[in-house]
Structure 1
Amino acid sequence: MSGTTGGPVLEAAGVGVRFGGIRALDGVGMTLRAGEVCGLIGPNGAGKTTFFDVVSGIRRPDEGRVLLDGEDITRRSPVWRARHGMRRTFQRQQLFGQLTVADNLLVAQEWRGGGGGLAADLLAAPTRRTYERRRRERASSMLHACGLDALAGEYAGALPVGQARMVELARAGVEGARVVLLDEPASGMTDDEICQLKSVIRHLSDQQGCAVLLVEHNVAFVMDLCSRIVVLDLGTVLAEGTPAAVRADPAVRDAYLGPAG
Structure 2
Amino acid sequence: MSEHILEARGIGVRFGGVHALTGVDLSLRPGEVCGLIGPNGAGKTTLFDVVSGIRRPDRGRVLLDGADITRRSPVWRARHGLRRTFQRQQLFGQLTVADNLLVAQEWRGGGGGLAADLLAAPTRRTHERERRARASTVLRECGLAPLADDYAGALPVGRARMVELARAVADPPKVLLLDEPASGMTADERGQLSAVVRHLAEEENCAVLLVEHNVAFVMELCARVVVLDLGSVLAEGTAAEVRANPEVRDAYLGTTAA
Q: TM-score, normalised by structure 1?
A: 0.92
What's the CA shift for 1:126? 4.7
Are the counterparts in 2 of residues 45 and 234 from structure 1 also a CA contact under 8 Å?
Answer: yes
Of the candidates 206, 229, 247, which is equivalent to residue 233 of structure 1?
A: 229
Of the candidates 10, 18, 30, which is equivalent to residue 6 of structure 2?
A: 10
What's the CA shift for 1:130? 2.5
Are the counterparts in 1 of residues 109 and 127 from structure 2 also a CA contact under 8 Å?
Answer: no
Are the counterparts in 2 of residues 125 and 131 from structure 1 also a CA contact under 8 Å?
Answer: no
Alignment of 1:1-261 (within 5 A): 7-111=3-107, 126-260=122-256
Are the counterparts in 1 of residues 228 and 235 from structure 2 also a CA contact under 8 Å?
Answer: yes
What's the CA shift for 1:128? 2.9
Identity of aligned residues (%): 77
2:113 aligned residue = none
Separation in 1, partners of 2:128, 2:217: 37
The Cα offsets for residues 106-156 of structure 1, whole Å up to 9 and x where unpaired, read as 010113566xxxxxxxx9995433221111010000000000010000000
Are the counterparts in 2 of residues 109 and 174 from structure 1 also a CA contact under 8 Å?
Answer: yes
Separation in 2, partners of 1:21, 1:113: 45
Distance 1:20 1:207, change over 3 A: same
- DSSP 3-state at the match of 1:44: coil
Separation in 2, partners of 1:106, 1:74: 29
Separation in 2, partners of 1:160, 1:67: 36
Structure 2 unaligned segments of length 5 or more: list them.
111-118
Distance 1:139 1:219, change over 3 A: same
What's the CA shift for 1:19? 0.5
Are the counterparts in 2 of residues 205 and 211 from structure 1 also a CA contact under 8 Å?
Answer: yes
Q: TM-score, normalised by structure 2?
A: 0.93
The Cα offsets for residues 151-204 of structure 1, whole Å up to 9 and x where unpaired, read as 000000000000000000001111230110000000000000000000011111
Instruction: Report the AA paired with residue 143 of structure 1.
Output: L
Separation in 2, partners of 1:105, 1:67: 27
Are the counterparts in 2 of residues 85 and 179 from structure 1 also a CA contact under 8 Å?
Answer: yes
Instruction: Report the AA paired with residue 219 of structure 1.
Output: V
Q: Which protein is bigger by CA-based radius of gyration? A: 2
What's the CA shift for 1:207? 0.9
Structure 1 unaligned segments of length 5 or more: list them.
1-5, 115-122
The Cα offsets for residues 18-43 of structure 1, whole Å up to 9 and x where unpaired, read as 01111000000011010000000000
Instruction: Report the AA paired with residue 148 of structure 1.
Output: L
- DSSP 3-state at the match of 1:8: coil
Q: How many residues align?
A: 248
Separation in 1, partners of 2:108, 2:51: 19
Separation in 1, partners of 2:106, 2:36: 31
Separation in 2, partners of 1:168, 1:113: 21
Q: Which region of structure 1 is more displaced relative to structure 2, 163-172 or 125-134?
A: 125-134
